[in-house]
Amino acid sequence: MDRRHFLLGSLAVGLSTRAIAADEPSGLEEADKVLRQATASGQVKSATLHVLKNGNAVTRAYGSGTTPDSMFLLGSISKPICVTALMRLYDQNEFQLDDKLSKYLPKFTGDGKENVTLRHVLTHTSGLPDQLANNADLRRNHAGLEKFVEYAQQAPLSFQPGSNYQYSSMGILLATHVAEKLTGKDILSLVEETVFKPLKMQRSAQGLGRFALEDMVPAQTEFAAPEAGSGDPTAKNWDWNSQYWRKLGAPWGTTHCSAPDVAKFLAEYLFLNGAVLKPETAKLVRSNQNPAGIKPRGIGFDVGSLLAGEGCSEETFGHSGSTGTLAWADPATETIFVVLTSLPARAVTPHPRQLASAAIAAQG
């Protein structure tokens, strides 16, 4: 049995079992302690942890009623998952990364927008904003994704495309809308068909999919970001826990997954299996695309050791989520780390997700 198949076999075994101490991934004991203390104190209501390291995989759940298969709102880990659906079309020669965005979205013009490429929006160098100025109004009125697309195309650029870095959820929205235009299918269907099914991610949904709101772990919205409705007593019908938001399937933040399913997604890129993307495309996606002097980014992925913690290589790729999630893989050590929590990222520094990640990363 070669090493790739051995590791993937370990990944499957680890989904529902607790390994004996001798077989536990190095650093797991400290990461486990962090999450046990955070949930026991009530700081974090729910969390799951999945680690694949040294050929051993373990999944653990924390908090009352949480199981290894519990599905969390991923926040921005949604971005590389939805971008993967777009990159399937790249494999089919439906577009090139340096194509102008206006080639597919003719309304995206004026004030330098004709110079924005797909590579720019996928690496956060387009100059588009993270959230729209009227984000709260759109959500309050239960706008569909098409309304967000309409206003995102009208949003002004902050700088000349390619000259700087500015994290942009709206850039990812427009990139994935190109996939919708090319296929005639919505992003919810595309992700299900081209990512979840091939990777056998059975505890995953773009939006709610076949699941109900009650199947999802609630977010601790009292600590959420302002754009998620925190501090607004009237936001209950559009905040992170609302039926509206959980069902919307926003490609920048409304994917639901279990920790083992996120690990399956990362394994596709770590081991270059070719189940979803050609190996050369997967390697391109997980690699830095930005020039020196601009924050490194892959195509939809965050990249570099800062994502995970000291001890990881610069080849590390993954993403974090404002809902309290973090997932990464390091090709140098063939490590996968996923932690999903209900505590928003902005609630506390350092967040338990960071401490758990650092414990695994430090072992190299």
- Please say if the pLDDT value at position 6 is more than 60: no
Predicted confidence band at 231 (pLDDT cuts at 50, 70, 90)? low
For strands 302-303 and 72-73, give the pairing.
unpaired
pLDDT in tens, 268-299: 999 999 999 999 999 999 999 999 999 999 99
Q: Let me know if 291 is exposed, middle or buried by CB neighbors in 10 A (0-12, 13-18, 19+).
A: exposed
Residue 7: pLDDT band (50, 70, 90) is: very low
pLDDT digits (tens, 9 = 90+) for 140-174: 999 999 999 999 999 999 999 999 999 999 999 99
Contact indicator for 287, 307 with CB cutoff of 8 Å: no
The predicted model scores a pTM of: 0.93
Pick from 78, 46, 80: nearest CA to 63: 46
pLDDT in tens, 18-63: 433 447 888 899 999 999 999 999 999 999 999 998 888 999 999 9
**Residue 109: other Cβ atoms inside 10 A:** 14
Per-residue confidence band for 226, with pLDDT thresholds at 50, 70 and 90? confident
Write down all domains in the chain, each with its CATH number in brackets. 3-78+191-361 (3.40.710.10), 86-187 (1.20.58)
Hunting for tokens 């190996």 — which residue is that? 279
